[in-house]
Amino acid sequence: MNNIRLRPATIQDGPTILSWRNDPLSRQFSFQTEPIELEHHMQWWLASLKNPARTILVLENENGEGLGSLRKDKLPTGEIELSWMIAPEHRGKGLGSSMLRLGIHGTTARFIARIKPENTASCRMVEKLGFSEIQPGLFVLNSCD
């Protein structure tokens, strides 16, 4: 898909991200599988947007349509933990790989991704991007050009 970009998330993105997060497949592959209520999510969302160790980006197309989100958490060790979601209606189009490439390009860091082993699509995706599985469900990439 051409003409996609990552932009910083805003307060207004909160309800959309929640709808993606509460999608049954997203919940199945999340480590927290219960549905999340809007009020609880928005409290978390506002705190996350203010957190200097957290960056949340939204993947969008040339029309400004949200396609996915990428969260980058800088850990006390200096590593960056990645977490992502693709909007349910845009899954299976290779957007996850494109989003991760955009989100880590040019960053010198050790990236980690925790993925449920049964989420084979995400496991295969990060391996194709050069991540190594160092234990079941834990993938690392030492830096990105």
Question: What pLDDT does 107 receive?
Answer: 85
**Mean pLDDT over residues 94-119, rounded?**
93
Asked whether residue 11 is domain-assigned, the answer is yes
Q: Which class for 78: exposed (0-12), middle (13-18), buried (19 or more C-beta within 10 A)?
A: exposed
Question: What pLDDT does 32 receive?
Answer: 87
Q: How many distinct structural domains can be found in the chain?
A: 1
Question: What pLDDT does 11 receive?
Answer: 97
> Which pTM was predicted?
0.92
Asked whether residue 118 is domain-assigned, the answer is no
Band of pLDDT at residue 1, cut at 50, 70 and 90: low
Between helix 38-50 and helix 14-21 the angle, nearest 10°, is 120
Q: Give the CATH number of the domain where residue 75 resides.
A: 3.40.630.30
In angstroms, rounded to a whole number, what is the distance separating the alpha carbons of residues 10 and 31?
24
Q: What does the pLDDT look like over 43-91, one tens digit per residue?
A: 999 999 999 999 999 999 999 999 999 999 999 999 999 999 999 999 9
Asked whether residue 132 is domain-assigned, the answer is no
